[in-house]
């Protein structure tokens, strides 16, 4: 959010803003991967099928929105 405000104000040169934006995306990917590494499938199995189904539906929903943006539906 701070980066978008700074980029909108055009305080920093464009290459700096793009570099920081790229770094931000990579850090987000690393954080998501790290949380996935801590996922215990045994624990998910103990919770039952409803939380697993919810996780699957949410993943498909988010992926479909991303796909829609990529192909230009949205």
Say if residue 60's pLDDT is above 90. yes
Q: CA–CA distance from 56 to each of 19, 53, 60, 62 (Å)?
A: 33, 5, 6, 10
**Tokens matching residue 3:** 């980066």
pTM for the model: 0.49
Say if residue 3's pLDDT is above 70. no
Q: Tens of pLDDT along 26-41?
A: 998 898 888 777 778 7
Q: CB count, 10 Å around CB of 6?
A: 14
Cα–Cα distance, 44 to 50 (Å, whole number): 10
- Classify 52 as helix, strand or coil: helix
Say if residue 74's pLDDT is above 70. no
- pLDDT on residue 64: 94
Over residues 13-26, the mean pLDDT reads 86
């Amino acid at each position: 959010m701070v980066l978008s405000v700074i980029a909108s104000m055009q305080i920093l040169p464009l290459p700096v803003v793009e570099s920081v934006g790229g770094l931000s995306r990579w850090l987000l990917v690393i954080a998501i991967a790290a949380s996935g590494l801590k996922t215990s499938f045994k624990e998910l199995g103990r919770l039952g099928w409803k939380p697993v189904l919810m996780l699957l539906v949410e993943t498909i929903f988010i992926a479909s929105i991303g796909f829609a943006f990529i192909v230009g539906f949205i």
